Amino acid sequence: MRNLLNRLTGRDDAPEARHEPTVTPDPGIKDQTVSSGDVESMMELFQVAPSYAGPAVTAETAMRVTAVYACVRMLCGAVSTMPLHIYRRTADGGKERIDHPLWWLLNQEASPLFTSSAMREAQIASMLLRGDGLARIRRNRRGVPERLEPLPRQNTIIEKAGGRLRYYANLDEEGYVGLDQDDVLHLPNVGFDGVCSPSVIGLAAKQGIGLAMAAEEYSARFFSNGARPDHVITTDGTPSQEQIDLIRNNWLKKHQGTANAHLPGMLVGGAKVHQITMTSEDAQLMEARQFQVTDIARAFGLPSWMINANEKSTSWGSGLEQMGLGFIIYTLQPHLTRWAQEINRKLLRDRNLFAEFNVTALLRGDAKARSEYYKAALGGTQAPGYMTPNEVRARENLPPINGGDQLYAPEVTPDADA
Protein backbone atom coordinates (compact mmCIF):
# COMPACT_ATOMS: atom_id res chain seq x y z
CA MET A 1 0.00 0.00 0.00
CA ARG A 2 2.84 2.37 0.88
CA ASN A 3 4.59 1.73 -2.45
CA LEU A 4 1.33 2.37 -4.30
CA LEU A 5 0.84 5.71 -2.52
CA ASN A 6 4.42 6.68 -3.31
CA ARG A 7 3.91 6.02 -7.02
CA LEU A 8 0.65 7.96 -7.06
CA THR A 9 2.24 10.96 -5.32
CA GLY A 10 5.45 10.86 -7.35
CA ARG A 11 7.59 9.92 -4.36
CA ASP A 12 9.01 6.57 -5.47
CA ASP A 13 12.30 7.32 -3.79
CA ALA A 14 10.89 8.50 -0.46
CA PRO A 15 12.94 7.16 2.45
CA GLU A 16 11.53 4.50 4.70
CA ALA A 17 9.84 5.70 7.87
CA ARG A 18 12.15 5.51 10.85
CA HIS A 19 11.14 3.69 13.98
CA GLU A 20 12.61 5.99 16.55
CA PRO A 21 13.47 4.16 19.77
CA THR A 22 12.79 5.56 23.19
CA VAL A 23 16.11 6.32 24.84
CA THR A 24 16.31 6.23 28.61
CA PRO A 25 19.10 7.92 30.57
CA ASP A 26 22.02 5.72 31.51
CA PRO A 27 22.64 6.04 35.28
CA GLY A 28 26.21 4.95 34.76
CA ILE A 29 26.89 7.96 32.58
CA LYS A 30 24.94 10.36 34.78
CA ASP A 31 27.09 9.54 37.82
CA GLN A 32 30.38 9.38 35.96
CA THR A 33 33.38 10.13 38.18
CA VAL A 34 37.11 10.49 37.61
CA SER A 35 40.07 10.25 39.93
CA SER A 36 41.44 13.56 41.21
CA GLY A 37 44.92 12.22 40.48
CA ASP A 38 44.16 11.85 36.77
CA VAL A 39 45.00 15.38 35.64
CA GLU A 40 44.04 14.93 31.99
CA SER A 41 40.64 13.40 32.86
CA MET A 42 39.97 16.18 35.36
CA MET A 43 40.81 18.78 32.72
CA GLU A 44 38.49 17.08 30.24
CA LEU A 45 35.70 16.80 32.81
CA PHE A 46 35.77 20.52 33.55
CA GLN A 47 36.47 21.43 29.88
CA VAL A 48 39.74 23.17 30.71
CA ALA A 49 42.53 23.20 28.13
CA PRO A 50 45.83 24.31 29.71
CA SER A 51 48.20 26.25 27.46
CA TYR A 52 51.98 26.45 27.49
CA ALA A 53 51.70 30.19 28.17
CA GLY A 54 50.02 29.45 31.49
CA PRO A 55 46.34 30.54 31.37
CA ALA A 56 43.72 27.79 31.17
CA VAL A 57 41.69 28.12 27.98
CA THR A 58 37.97 27.35 28.17
CA ALA A 59 35.00 28.44 26.09
CA GLU A 60 34.26 31.17 28.64
CA THR A 61 37.82 32.49 29.08
CA ALA A 62 38.49 32.34 25.34
CA MET A 63 35.51 34.63 24.64
CA ARG A 64 37.18 37.30 26.78
CA VAL A 65 39.88 37.58 24.12
CA THR A 66 38.66 40.19 21.65
CA ALA A 67 39.97 38.30 18.61
CA VAL A 68 38.05 35.14 19.60
CA TYR A 69 34.89 37.11 20.34
CA ALA A 70 35.15 38.90 16.99
CA CYS A 71 35.60 35.63 15.07
CA VAL A 72 32.64 33.96 16.77
CA ARG A 73 30.48 37.06 16.35
CA MET A 74 31.35 37.32 12.65
CA LEU A 75 30.54 33.68 11.85
CA CYS A 76 27.39 33.64 13.98
CA GLY A 77 26.15 36.86 12.44
CA ALA A 78 26.76 35.72 8.86
CA VAL A 79 24.91 32.41 9.28
CA SER A 80 22.07 33.67 11.49
CA THR A 81 21.01 36.38 9.04
CA MET A 82 21.11 34.22 5.90
CA PRO A 83 17.75 33.16 4.39
CA LEU A 84 17.18 29.40 4.29
CA HIS A 85 14.83 28.25 1.52
CA ILE A 86 13.31 24.88 0.67
CA TYR A 87 13.32 23.64 -2.92
CA ARG A 88 11.84 20.77 -4.91
CA ARG A 89 13.83 19.01 -7.60
CA THR A 90 12.18 19.25 -11.02
CA ALA A 91 12.05 16.63 -13.76
CA ASP A 92 14.47 18.58 -15.96
CA GLY A 93 17.18 18.53 -13.28
CA GLY A 94 16.45 22.03 -12.00
CA LYS A 95 14.85 23.23 -8.81
CA GLU A 96 11.86 25.30 -7.76
CA ARG A 97 11.38 27.14 -4.51
CA ILE A 98 8.31 25.98 -2.60
CA ASP A 99 6.25 27.25 0.32
CA HIS A 100 6.91 24.59 2.96
CA PRO A 101 5.56 24.52 6.56
CA LEU A 102 9.12 24.21 7.89
CA TRP A 103 10.08 27.60 6.41
CA TRP A 104 8.68 29.46 9.45
CA LEU A 105 10.52 27.14 11.83
CA LEU A 106 13.86 27.59 10.03
CA ASN A 107 13.64 31.32 9.32
CA GLN A 108 11.43 33.02 11.91
CA GLU A 109 10.58 31.16 15.12
CA ALA A 110 12.46 28.03 16.15
CA SER A 111 10.45 27.75 19.37
CA PRO A 112 8.32 30.01 21.59
CA LEU A 113 11.51 30.95 23.46
CA PHE A 114 13.92 31.38 20.54
CA THR A 115 13.91 33.07 17.18
CA SER A 116 15.46 31.09 14.36
CA SER A 117 18.32 33.58 14.26
CA ALA A 118 19.09 33.09 17.96
CA MET A 119 18.94 29.31 17.56
CA ARG A 120 21.44 29.42 14.69
CA GLU A 121 23.77 31.66 16.67
CA ALA A 122 23.66 29.25 19.61
CA GLN A 123 24.49 26.27 17.38
CA ILE A 124 27.35 27.98 15.55
CA ALA A 125 28.88 29.34 18.76
CA SER A 126 28.64 25.92 20.42
CA MET A 127 30.23 24.25 17.40
CA LEU A 128 33.15 26.70 17.36
CA LEU A 129 33.78 26.82 21.12
CA ARG A 130 32.74 23.32 22.21
CA GLY A 131 33.02 21.18 19.06
CA ASP A 132 29.36 20.39 18.35
CA GLY A 133 26.26 22.51 17.86
CA LEU A 134 23.17 20.65 19.06
CA ALA A 135 19.46 21.43 18.77
CA ARG A 136 16.62 19.27 20.02
CA ILE A 137 13.83 18.50 17.54
CA ARG A 138 10.38 18.59 19.14
CA ARG A 139 7.78 16.68 17.08
CA ASN A 140 4.01 16.34 17.28
CA ARG A 141 2.20 13.01 17.47
CA ARG A 142 2.51 12.54 13.71
CA GLY A 143 6.27 12.99 13.85
CA VAL A 144 6.23 16.44 12.21
CA PRO A 145 8.85 18.87 13.62
CA GLU A 146 7.24 21.69 15.59
CA ARG A 147 10.11 23.25 17.56
CA LEU A 148 13.90 23.46 17.63
CA GLU A 149 15.61 24.08 20.96
CA PRO A 150 19.37 24.53 21.52
CA LEU A 151 20.98 21.80 23.64
CA PRO A 152 23.85 22.88 25.90
CA ARG A 153 26.87 20.91 24.68
CA GLN A 154 28.61 21.19 28.04
CA ASN A 155 25.66 19.38 29.66
CA THR A 156 25.26 16.71 26.96
CA ILE A 157 27.04 13.36 26.65
CA ILE A 158 27.10 11.68 23.22
CA GLU A 159 27.66 7.95 22.77
CA LYS A 160 27.22 5.38 20.01
CA ALA A 161 25.13 2.28 20.70
CA GLY A 162 23.68 -0.19 18.21
CA GLY A 163 24.97 1.83 15.27
CA ARG A 164 23.11 4.97 16.36
CA LEU A 165 24.02 8.06 18.32
CA ARG A 166 22.36 8.76 21.64
CA TYR A 167 22.38 12.08 23.45
CA TYR A 168 22.09 12.31 27.23
CA ALA A 169 21.34 15.90 28.21
CA ASN A 170 20.98 17.43 31.65
CA LEU A 171 18.27 20.08 31.25
CA ASP A 172 17.22 22.51 33.95
CA GLU A 173 13.45 21.97 33.78
CA GLU A 174 13.27 18.32 32.65
CA GLY A 175 16.27 16.91 34.45
CA TYR A 176 18.25 14.17 32.74
CA VAL A 177 16.79 13.12 29.34
CA GLY A 178 17.91 10.75 26.60
CA LEU A 179 17.41 11.51 22.90
CA ASP A 180 17.82 9.46 19.74
CA GLN A 181 19.89 10.84 16.86
CA ASP A 182 16.73 11.49 14.80
CA ASP A 183 15.60 14.01 17.40
CA VAL A 184 18.79 16.10 17.47
CA LEU A 185 20.18 18.45 14.82
CA HIS A 186 23.92 17.83 15.15
CA LEU A 187 26.28 20.38 13.58
CA PRO A 188 29.81 18.95 13.93
CA ASN A 189 33.11 20.78 13.61
CA VAL A 190 36.15 19.72 11.58
CA GLY A 191 37.57 16.48 12.98
CA PHE A 192 34.23 14.71 13.57
CA ASP A 193 34.96 11.09 14.58
CA GLY A 194 31.45 9.74 14.15
CA VAL A 195 30.41 10.67 17.67
CA CYS A 196 31.64 14.16 18.54
CA SER A 197 34.08 16.82 17.35
CA PRO A 198 36.93 18.83 18.84
CA SER A 199 36.42 22.57 19.22
CA VAL A 200 38.47 25.19 17.41
CA ILE A 201 39.98 26.02 20.80
CA GLY A 202 41.05 22.47 21.55
CA LEU A 203 42.09 21.57 18.01
CA ALA A 204 43.99 24.56 16.68
CA ALA A 205 43.82 27.75 18.73
CA LYS A 206 44.54 26.69 22.31
CA GLN A 207 48.16 27.88 22.41
CA GLY A 208 47.45 31.04 20.41
CA ILE A 209 44.56 32.02 22.67
CA GLY A 210 46.59 31.19 25.78
CA LEU A 211 49.44 33.39 24.60
CA ALA A 212 47.02 36.22 23.79
CA MET A 213 45.52 35.94 27.28
CA ALA A 214 48.97 35.97 28.89
CA ALA A 215 50.11 38.98 26.85
CA GLU A 216 46.92 40.89 27.66
CA GLU A 217 47.24 40.12 31.37
CA TYR A 218 50.89 41.17 31.38
CA SER A 219 50.06 44.47 29.65
CA ALA A 220 47.15 45.18 31.98
CA ARG A 221 49.19 44.51 35.12
CA PHE A 222 52.09 46.56 33.79
CA PHE A 223 49.97 49.66 33.27
CA SER A 224 47.89 49.17 36.41
CA ASN A 225 51.02 49.01 38.53
CA GLY A 226 52.49 52.08 36.83
CA ALA A 227 55.95 50.56 37.06
CA ARG A 228 57.42 52.78 34.36
CA PRO A 229 56.70 56.53 34.05
CA ASP A 230 56.88 58.43 30.77
CA HIS A 231 59.49 60.94 32.06
CA VAL A 232 62.24 61.09 34.66
CA ILE A 233 63.93 64.17 36.19
CA THR A 234 67.65 63.97 36.98
CA THR A 235 69.74 66.42 39.00
CA ASP A 236 73.39 67.01 39.73
CA GLY A 237 74.45 65.60 43.05
CA THR A 238 72.26 63.75 45.54
CA PRO A 239 69.14 65.73 46.54
CA SER A 240 67.34 65.09 49.80
CA GLN A 241 63.89 63.51 49.91
CA GLU A 242 62.40 66.94 50.61
CA GLN A 243 64.05 68.37 47.50
CA ILE A 244 62.87 65.41 45.39
CA ASP A 245 59.28 65.89 46.52
CA LEU A 246 59.51 69.65 45.89
CA ILE A 247 60.78 69.22 42.30
CA ARG A 248 58.18 66.55 41.52
CA ASN A 249 55.27 68.50 42.99
CA ASN A 250 56.24 71.72 41.24
CA TRP A 251 56.45 69.88 37.91
CA LEU A 252 53.04 68.25 38.38
CA LYS A 253 51.47 71.53 39.47
CA LYS A 254 52.67 73.33 36.35
CA HIS A 255 52.06 70.60 33.76
CA GLN A 256 49.30 68.31 35.01
CA GLY A 257 45.98 68.39 33.12
CA THR A 258 45.05 69.05 29.51
CA ALA A 259 45.08 72.84 29.93
CA ASN A 260 48.78 72.76 30.88
CA ALA A 261 49.84 70.01 28.51
CA HIS A 262 51.88 72.23 26.17
CA LEU A 263 53.25 74.84 28.56
CA PRO A 264 57.06 75.20 28.51
CA GLY A 265 58.84 73.75 31.51
CA MET A 266 61.44 75.48 33.69
CA LEU A 267 63.91 73.59 35.91
CA VAL A 268 66.68 75.05 38.11
CA GLY A 269 69.64 73.68 39.98
CA GLY A 270 70.88 71.53 37.11
CA ALA A 271 67.69 69.43 36.89
CA LYS A 272 66.95 67.81 33.53
CA VAL A 273 63.89 65.99 32.08
CA HIS A 274 64.38 62.80 30.08
CA GLN A 275 61.60 61.06 28.11
CA ILE A 276 61.54 57.26 28.30
CA THR A 277 61.01 55.79 24.84
CA MET A 278 59.58 52.39 23.90
CA THR A 279 62.02 49.57 24.53
CA SER A 280 62.61 46.60 22.24
CA GLU A 281 60.70 44.43 24.71
CA ASP A 282 57.67 46.73 24.42
CA ALA A 283 57.83 46.57 20.63
CA GLN A 284 58.07 42.77 20.71
CA LEU A 285 55.06 42.59 23.02
CA MET A 286 53.00 44.70 20.62
CA GLU A 287 54.12 42.58 17.66
CA ALA A 288 53.27 39.39 19.56
CA ARG A 289 49.78 40.64 20.37
CA GLN A 290 49.21 41.61 16.73
CA PHE A 291 50.46 38.22 15.54
CA GLN A 292 48.13 36.41 17.94
CA VAL A 293 45.16 38.22 16.42
CA THR A 294 46.15 36.93 12.98
CA ASP A 295 46.86 33.46 14.35
CA ILE A 296 43.48 33.20 16.10
CA ALA A 297 41.64 34.48 13.01
CA ARG A 298 43.47 31.87 10.91
CA ALA A 299 42.29 29.08 13.22
CA PHE A 300 38.67 30.20 12.79
CA GLY A 301 39.07 30.40 9.01
CA LEU A 302 38.85 34.19 8.81
CA PRO A 303 41.22 36.78 7.35
CA SER A 304 42.30 39.23 10.02
CA TRP A 305 40.76 42.22 8.21
CA MET A 306 37.30 40.76 8.89
CA ILE A 307 37.79 41.24 12.64
CA ASN A 308 39.08 44.81 12.22
CA ALA A 309 42.77 43.95 12.48
CA ASN A 310 45.01 46.19 10.40
CA GLU A 311 46.29 44.35 7.36
CA LYS A 312 47.86 45.95 4.33
CA SER A 313 46.76 43.31 1.85
CA THR A 314 44.55 40.24 1.51
CA SER A 315 44.87 37.21 -0.72
CA TRP A 316 41.09 37.16 -1.27
CA GLY A 317 41.06 40.05 -3.75
CA SER A 318 40.91 43.81 -3.49
CA GLY A 319 37.21 44.52 -4.03
CA LEU A 320 34.50 44.00 -1.42
CA GLU A 321 32.65 41.61 -3.74
CA GLN A 322 35.74 39.44 -4.27
CA MET A 323 36.52 39.35 -0.56
CA GLY A 324 32.91 38.45 0.23
CA LEU A 325 33.08 35.64 -2.32
CA GLY A 326 36.24 34.28 -0.69
CA PHE A 327 34.57 34.41 2.72
CA ILE A 328 31.62 32.37 1.47
CA ILE A 329 33.63 29.78 -0.47
CA TYR A 330 36.46 29.14 1.96
CA THR A 331 34.84 29.80 5.34
CA LEU A 332 31.05 29.67 5.31
CA GLN A 333 30.23 27.04 2.68
CA PRO A 334 31.47 23.99 4.65
CA HIS A 335 29.33 25.02 7.65
CA LEU A 336 26.30 25.75 5.46
CA THR A 337 26.59 22.43 3.63
CA ARG A 338 26.78 20.40 6.84
CA TRP A 339 23.81 22.27 8.26
CA ALA A 340 21.64 21.91 5.13
CA GLN A 341 22.37 18.18 4.86
CA GLU A 342 21.40 17.68 8.51
CA ILE A 343 18.11 19.50 7.88
CA ASN A 344 17.45 17.40 4.77
CA ARG A 345 17.88 14.04 6.50
CA LYS A 346 16.21 14.84 9.84
CA LEU A 347 13.53 17.45 9.10
CA LEU A 348 12.54 17.10 5.43
CA ARG A 349 13.25 13.36 4.94
CA ASP A 350 12.22 13.50 1.28
CA ARG A 351 14.79 13.04 -1.50
CA ASN A 352 12.81 15.34 -3.77
CA LEU A 353 13.07 18.23 -1.29
CA PHE A 354 16.17 19.96 -0.01
CA ALA A 355 17.13 23.03 2.00
CA GLU A 356 19.62 25.59 0.77
CA PHE A 357 21.01 28.80 2.21
CA ASN A 358 20.68 31.87 0.01
CA VAL A 359 24.13 33.48 -0.13
CA THR A 360 23.17 36.01 -2.80
CA ALA A 361 22.91 38.89 -0.33
CA LEU A 362 26.54 38.42 0.72
CA LEU A 363 27.68 38.38 -2.91
CA ARG A 364 26.05 41.65 -3.91
CA GLY A 365 28.50 44.18 -5.22
CA ASP A 366 27.91 47.90 -5.61
CA ALA A 367 25.09 49.33 -7.75
CA LYS A 368 27.29 49.73 -10.83
CA ALA A 369 28.60 46.17 -10.69
CA ARG A 370 25.09 44.75 -10.23
CA SER A 371 23.76 46.84 -13.09
CA GLU A 372 26.42 45.55 -15.49
CA TYR A 373 25.87 41.96 -14.36
CA TYR A 374 22.09 42.12 -14.76
CA LYS A 375 22.45 43.79 -18.15
CA ALA A 376 24.46 40.86 -19.47
CA ALA A 377 22.17 38.33 -17.73
CA LEU A 378 19.07 39.82 -19.37
CA GLY A 379 20.66 39.84 -22.83
CA GLY A 380 21.46 43.54 -22.99
CA THR A 381 24.63 42.77 -24.96
CA GLN A 382 22.45 41.25 -27.73
CA ALA A 383 23.46 37.78 -26.59
CA PRO A 384 20.82 35.30 -25.41
CA GLY A 385 19.72 36.10 -21.87
CA TYR A 386 20.08 33.57 -19.09
CA MET A 387 17.92 35.35 -16.49
CA THR A 388 14.36 36.62 -16.76
CA PRO A 389 13.35 40.10 -15.58
CA ASN A 390 11.43 38.60 -12.67
CA GLU A 391 14.47 36.59 -11.57
CA VAL A 392 16.47 39.81 -11.49
CA ARG A 393 13.71 41.60 -9.59
CA ALA A 394 13.56 38.76 -7.06
CA ARG A 395 17.27 39.17 -6.32
CA GLU A 396 16.66 42.86 -5.66
CA ASN A 397 13.65 42.09 -3.41
CA LEU A 398 11.21 43.58 -5.92
CA PRO A 399 7.78 42.11 -6.83
CA PRO A 400 7.33 40.30 -10.16
CA ILE A 401 5.78 42.01 -13.17
CA ASN A 402 3.48 40.73 -15.88
CA GLY A 403 5.38 39.27 -18.80
CA GLY A 404 8.60 39.12 -16.83
CA ASP A 405 9.13 35.37 -17.01
CA GLN A 406 10.40 35.21 -20.58
CA LEU A 407 14.06 34.87 -21.51
CA TYR A 408 15.36 37.31 -24.09
CA ALA A 409 16.36 35.73 -27.40
CA PRO A 410 17.74 38.11 -30.05
CA GLU A 411 16.26 37.89 -33.51
CA VAL A 412 18.51 36.27 -36.06
CA THR A 413 18.76 38.32 -39.26
CA PRO A 414 18.72 36.02 -42.30
CA ASP A 415 21.81 36.11 -44.47
CA ALA A 416 21.14 38.08 -47.67
CA ASP A 417 23.21 35.61 -49.69
CA ALA A 418 21.27 32.61 -48.37
Q: Are residues 312 and 244 in the same domain?
A: no
Indicate whether 142 pLDDT > 80. Answer: yes
Indicate whether 208 pLDDT > 80. Answer: no
Q: Are residues 223 and 233 in the same domain?
A: no
Q: Are residues 308 and 403 in the same domain?
A: no
Q: Which amino acid does the sequence have at 278?
A: M
Residues ≥6 apart with Cβ < 8 Å to 334: 190
pTM (predicted TM-score): 0.71
Q: What is the pLDDT of residue 7?
A: 44
25 in a structural domain: no
- Complete DSSP assignment for 257-321: SGGGTTPPP---TT-EEEEPPPPHHHHHHHHHHHHHHHHHHHHTT--GGGGT---S--TT-SSHH
342 in a structural domain: yes
Is residue 42 classed as helix, strand or coil in its secondary structure? helix
Q: Tell me the β-bridge partners of 71.
A: none
Interhelix angle 280-299/206-225, nearest 10 degrees:
140
Q: What is the pLDDT of residue 214?
A: 74
Indicate whether 101 pLDDT > 80. Answer: yes
15 in a structural domain: no
**Spatial separation of the C-alpha atoms in residues 407 and 392, rounded to whole Å:** 11
- The mean pLDDT value of the chain amounts to 78
Q: What is the pLDDT of residue 265?
A: 63
329 in a structural domain: yes
Indicate whether 69 pLDDT > 70. Answer: yes
Confidence label for 256 from pLDDT (cuts 50, 70 and 90): low
- How far the first Cα of the chain sits from its last, in Å, is 62
Q: Are residues 347 and 264 in the same domain?
A: no
Run of H or E including 353:
strand 353-357
Q: What are phi and psi of 223, to 5 degrees?
A: -75, -30
Q: Are residues 313 and 216 in the same domain?
A: yes
Contacts 24+ apart (CB under 8 A), 91-100: 95/354, 98/353, 100/348, 100/353
- Complete DSSP assignment for 97-160: E---THHHHHHTEEETTEEHHHHHHHHHHHHHHHSEEEEEEEE-TTS-EEEEEEEPGGGEEEEE
Run of H or E including 169:
strand 164-171
**Spatial separation of the C-alpha atoms in residues 135 and 110, rounded to whole Å:** 10
Q: Are residues 397 and 323 in the same domain?
A: no
Q: Are residues 141 and 242 in the same domain?
A: no
54 in a structural domain: yes
Q: Are residues 220 and 259 in the same domain?
A: no
Cβ(182)–Cβ(20) under 8 Å?
A: yes
Q: Percent of the chain, pLDDT > 90?
A: 33
Cβ(243)–Cβ(233) under 8 Å?
A: no
Q: What is the pLDDT of residue 263?
A: 57
Q: Are residues 235 and 210 in the same domain?
A: no
Q: Give the number of other CB atoms < 10 A from CB of residue 68.
A: 29
Q: What are phi and psi of 155, to 5 degrees?
A: -110, 15
**Spatial separation of the C-alpha atoms in residues 364 and 325, rounded to whole Å:** 9
What's the whole-number mean pLDDT along residues 222-236?
Answer: 63
Q: Which of 52-56, 103-107, 284-288, 365-369 has the highest mean pLDDT?
A: 103-107
Q: Are residues 314 and 379 in the same domain?
A: no
Indicate whether 67 pLDDT > 60. Answer: yes
Residue 258's domain spans which residues?
A: 229-275
Cβ(169)–Cβ(148) under 8 Å?
A: no
Q: Are residues 243 and 282 in the same domain?
A: no
Total domains, the chain: 3
Residue bearing the bigger pLDDT, 373 or 204: 373
Q: Are residues 102 and 248 in the same domain?
A: no
Confidence label for 226 from pLDDT (cuts 50, 70 and 90): low
Confidence label for 54 from pLDDT (cuts 50, 70 and 90): low
What's the whole-number mean pLDDT along residues 168-189?
Answer: 92
